Amino acid sequence: MRSRDSPARTGASIDKQFSTIFRLVDGKPANEFSLTNLYASAQIAPMDRFAFELSYSGQRNAICYRTFGSSLDSHLLSDNQLRHEVRASVNLRPSNSTFVLLGSGYSFQEGDINPTRDANVTLTQSDIPLLRLTCTLSYSRIVSNYLDGAVYGISVMKYLPFNSTTVSAGCSMIN
């Protein structure tokens, strides 16, 4: 994973930004209610084995965190900035025990050097014969002002019916 070159952030600027959300009134912490997010989503499932979803989110005066590996991309939007995000996903079920999820997102705000783009692919096979396991393979890619990398993962899950317990193990590789 590579970090993108970005301007340095100082504690003073972060403290100043936080003061736009949490204010002191007569020496006491106070905040006020305001609408900060608009979210709309539509899902179309024309068949049992296929579904498509499209969503939009507009966030104002919100703290956004994106985790990726061991890095944290955190930014606070000021009162005047609006962060837009559009996401699309396709869910496929080629068989009763196979599931595929394809997803992608694009988000931006005024002043972004690069918008954030991400893509995800997940393949799940449940009820693997003889072992009665579920296995999931995943891939995620994100490119933003601060991050450029991918995560590959695999996980295995086993349901133990005698005591209603699910045991799972997984690993991932960050590139």
- For the chain, list the domains and their CATH numbers: 36-174 (2.40.160)
Q: What pLDDT shows up at residue 62?
A: 58
Mean pLDDT of the chain: 79
Out of 16-30, 34-48, 133-147, 149-163, least confident range:
16-30
Cα atoms in the Cβ-side hemisphere of radius 13 Å centred on 61: 13
Backbone torsions φ then ψ of 167, nearest 5 degrees: -110, 130
Token digits of residue 10: 């100082």
Q: What is the C-alpha separation between 51 and 93, in angstroms, rounded?
A: 9
Q: Is the pLDDT of residue 74 over 60?
A: no
pLDDT at 141 over 70: yes
For the chain, first and last CA: distance in Å? Answer: 5
What's the rounded mean pLDDT across residues 14-42?
A: 67
Contacts of 8 (CB under 8 A, 6+ apart): none
Q: What is the mean pLDDT of residues 150-168?
A: 90
What count of Cα atoms within 13 Å lies in the side-chain half-sphere of residue 117? 5
pLDDT, position 132: 85
pTM, 2 dp: 0.66
pLDDT at 25: 75
